[in-house]
């Protein structure tokens, strides 16, 4: 005897529900769902940059850089296909785009220096962290021409919707600035923190803790550390939070141009040295950090293969800004990012102050000799 008629009628309904829920995830170079990816848009100053539209890509399936066949302003590129899921007529999904320099909002130097996109249904979604001002468009996928000149960074993670509680808390700490949002009642009830984020409310005046660290697991099981700092932390995200918690030395790429006062490479007795990256190479293309607006970090040694993509620059003005980073420990993607570092700034200033620490990037890049420094100190 076959299954009852009621069960046969139920099966098509279950299939429809399964295709509706769980449909939002990061998209790869072929438009297929992927657990996580990183992308690096090339600056106009390098060969094969296609006017600053070309980008390289890596993910959990292949952690080595691949040059995308489709430019970054193409809605069918990995970035375009991922972000395009935020547009449409589905009013049942949660959508949030935030930026301190959005496409229709003035620059906000008071709130967090952070940019990202989230889209979720009742079971899954994605969180894209990026560095591009005026991105993306309000009603359709648009990559701004102002984002072509300099290199830019992207990290996307596909996660279960249950992670919105943790993600919402991180966005509250950093004081994210929403410029496009859709919060159905079912999400606001399930995750009240999202209402706090959209209302631009942050920590109470009585708060004494100004950082937050959360563990976020992708659908495929990759563990990410999500770091967030409030502006009242008044310290460097990379040295005083990420490197201290990970207990590693980091090379950090961030925007150090303009008239702002840079922090410079920071070394001290704690051994968690942080070096400002000065020169980079990607698939044979060499360029300086002055052409790079991305924000990311990589540990110096393979014994702790840490890679992070985040929000903040290593400048004194950003000690008083909120921001965060997503970090993972992954040997393959670590080799890719570690191989991208050509040179770093040495920690001469800290040696001169007697701060201690090796003061050099493992493997010896732009290293000033310790003996020479000691002679200067006499």
The CA distance from 112 to 100, in Å, is 7
The CA distance from 289 to 131, in Å, is 14
pLDDT tens track for 7-57: 444 444 444 444 467 899 999 999 999 999 999 999 999 988 999 999 999
- The dihedral built from the CA positions of residue 147, 242, 35 and 69, taken in this order, carries a sign that is positive
Burial 61-76, CB ≥16 within 10 A → b, else e: ebbebbebebbbbbee
Question: Does position 85 have pLDDT exceeding 90, yes or no?
Answer: yes
**Over residues 117-130, mean pLDDT:** 98
Contact 43, 289 (CB under 8 A): no
pLDDT tens track for 188-220: 999 999 999 999 999 999 999 999 999 999 999
pLDDT tens track for 322-375: 999 999 999 999 999 999 999 999 986 544 343 444 456 764 444 333 323 333
Q: Where are the domains of the chain?
A: 23-202+210-377
Q: How confident is the model at residue 243 (pLDDT cuts 50, 70, 90)?
A: very high
Spot the catalytic one: 113, 130, 230, 293: 293
pLDDT tens track for 291-302: 999 999 999 999
pLDDT tens track for 142-193: 999 999 999 999 999 999 999 999 999 999 999 999 999 999 999 999 999 9
Give CA separation, 353 vs 155, 172, 348, in Å.
Answer: 37, 37, 9
Of 55-64, 137-146, 256-265, the range with the lowest mean pLDDT is 256-265
In this prediction, residue 4 carries a pLDDT of: 61
Task: Look up 293 and say whether it is catalytic.
Answer: yes
Of 258, 298, 248, which Cα lies nearest the Cα of 276? 298
Q: Measured in whole angstroms, how far is the alpha carbon of residue 56 from the centre of its chain? A: 15
Q: In what order do the strands lie in the sheet with 36-41?
A: 66-67, 55-59, 36-41, 152-160, 124-130, 115-120, 94-99, 178-182
Question: Does position 286 have pLDDT exceeding 80, yes or no?
Answer: yes
């Amino acid at each position: 005897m076959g299954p009852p008629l009621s069960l046969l009628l139920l099966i098509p309904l279950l299939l429809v529900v399964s295709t509706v829920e769980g449909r939002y995830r990061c998209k790869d170079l072929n438009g297929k769902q992927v657990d996580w990816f990183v992308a690096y848009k090339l600056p106009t100053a390098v060969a094969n940059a296609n006017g600053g539209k070309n980008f390289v890509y890596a993910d959990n399936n292949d952690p080595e850089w691949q040059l995308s066949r489709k430019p970054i302003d193409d809605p069918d590129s990995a970035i375009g296909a991922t972000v395009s899921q935020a547009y449409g007529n589905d009013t049942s999904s949660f959508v949030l785009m935030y930026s301190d320099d959005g496409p229709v909002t003035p620059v906000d130097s008071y709130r967090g220096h952070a940019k990202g996109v989230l889209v979720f249904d009742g079971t899954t979604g994605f969180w894209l962290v990026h560095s591009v001002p005026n991105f993306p468009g309000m009603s359709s996928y648009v990559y701004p021409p102002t984002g072509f000149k300099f290199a830019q960074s992207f990290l996307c993670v596909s996660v279960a919707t249950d992670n919105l509680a943790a993600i919402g808390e991180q966005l509250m700490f950093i004081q994210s600035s929403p410029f496009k949002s859709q919060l159905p009642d079912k999400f606001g009830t399930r995750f009240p923190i999202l209402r706090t984020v959209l209302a631009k409310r942050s920590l109470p005046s009585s708060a004494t803790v100004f950082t937050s660290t959360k563990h976020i697991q992708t659908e495929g099981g990759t563990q990410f550390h999500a770091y967030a700092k409030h502006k009242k932390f008044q310290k460097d995200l990379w040295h005083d939070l990420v490197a201290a918690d990970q207990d590693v030395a980091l090379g950090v790429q961030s925007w150090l141009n303009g008239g702002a006062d840079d922090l410079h490479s920071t070394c001290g007795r704690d051994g968690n040295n942080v070096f400002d990256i000065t020169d980079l190479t990607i698939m044979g293309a060499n360029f300086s950090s002055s052409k790079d607006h991305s924000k990311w970090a990589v540990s110096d040694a393979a014994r702790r293969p840490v890679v992070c993509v985040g929000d903040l620059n290593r400048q004194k003005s950003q000690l008083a800004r909120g921001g965060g980073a997503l970090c993972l420990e992954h040997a393959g993607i670590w080799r890719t990012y570690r191989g991208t570092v050509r040179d770093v700034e040495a920690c001469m200033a800290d040696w001169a102050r007697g701060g201690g620490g090796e003061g050099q990037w493992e493997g010896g890049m732009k290293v000033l000799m310790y003996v020479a420094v000691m002679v200067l100190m006499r």
